[in-house]
């Protein structure tokens, strides 16, 4: 029975192997060439191969050398902050900056330690006004502002 002694090393190593292996695999559809005339696959295969090997060593070390337990994952801020950003991206061109700002601020604030709806809405309104004045009016960035303005 193999015991994982260092979760951090073991999983970090696996991650590197996955990235390196995928890179080598994906690169094989491109021409390889030779050292004197490198094709597009040459360098990625080299680097990806090295990463796979080193990643495997890191992983094996995780089995042999004791380390700390993995840090605890806090899913709430992780998911809500990233959800806020992703939704901001979706809303920006479809619904305009103003609505996107409210989406971002509300969602990401839900991931914070305390959530007061009034404070959050006021913050969103202030940021929306400020962004309008600075980025759209002041700097003239071509950002869609209102719904269906395109």
Partner 1 sequence: MELLGNIGLGLGVALTLVNLVYCFIGVLVGTLVGVLPGLGPLATMAMLLPLTFNLTPVTALIMLAGIYYGAQYGGSTTAILVNLPGESSSVVTCLDGYQMARQGRAGPALAVAALASFFAGTFATLVIAAFAPPLAEVALNFGPAAYFSLMVLGLVSAVVLAAGSLLKAFCMILLGILLGLIGTDVNSGMARFTFNISALTDGIGFVIVAMGVFGFTEVILNLEVKGKREIFAKKVKNLWLTKSEFKAAAPAVLRGTLLGSMLGILPGGGALLSSFAAYTLEKRISKNQAQFGKGAIEGVAAPEAANNAGAQTSFIPLLTLGIPSNPVMALMIGAMMIHNIQPGPQIVINQPQLFWGMIASMWIGNLMLVIFNLPLIGMWVRLLSVPYRLLFPSILLFCGIGIYSLSYNTFDIHIAALFGLLGYIFVKLECEPAPLMLGFILGPMLEEYLRRALLLSRGDPLTFFTNPISAGMLIASAILLVIVILPAVRKKREDVFAE
Is residue 120 within 8 Å of 106, Cβ to Cβ?
yes
Residue 132 touches partner 1, criterion: CB under 8 A: no
Binding status of residue 98 toward partner 1 by CB under 8 A: no
Q: At what angle do helices 117-131 and 97-110 cross, to 10 degrees?
A: 140
Question: Per rule CB under 8 A, is residue 5 in the interface with partner 1?
Answer: no
> Based on CB atoms, which residue is closest to partner 1, 1 or 107?
107
* Whole-number Å distance between alpha carbons of 48 and 50: 5
Cβ nearer to partner 1, comparing 43 with 137? 43
Q: Which is nearer to partner 1, 1 or 125 (CB)?
A: 125
Q: Which of 85, 129, 133, 146 binds partner 1 (CB under 8 A)?
A: 85
Q: Which candidate, 107, 90, 100, 105, places its Cα nearest to that of 146?
A: 100
Minimum Å distance from CB 11 to partner 1?
Answer: 6
* Beta carbons of 22 and 51 less than 8 angstroms apart: no
Q: Does 147 bind partner 1 (CB under 8 A)?
A: no
């Amino acid at each position: 029975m193999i015991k994982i002694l260092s979760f951090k090393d073991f999983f970090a190593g696996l991650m590197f192997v996955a990235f390196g292996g995928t890179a080598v695999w994906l690169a094989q559809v491109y021409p390889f060439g030779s050292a004197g005339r490198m094709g597009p696959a040459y360098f990625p295969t080299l680097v990806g191969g090295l990463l796979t090997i080193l990643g495997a060593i890191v992983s094996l070390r995780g089995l042999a050398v004791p380390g700390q337990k993995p840090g605890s994952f806090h899913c709430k801020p992780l998911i809500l902050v990233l959800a806020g950003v992703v939704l901001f991206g979706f809303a920006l061109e479809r619904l305009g900056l103003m609505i996107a700002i409210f989406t971002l601020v509300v969602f990401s604030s839900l991931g914070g330690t305390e959530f007061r709806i009034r404070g959050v809405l006021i913050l969103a309104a202030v940021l929306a006004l400020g962004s309008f004045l600075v980025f759209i009016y002041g700097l003239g960035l071509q950002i869609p502002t209102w719904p269906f303005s395109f």
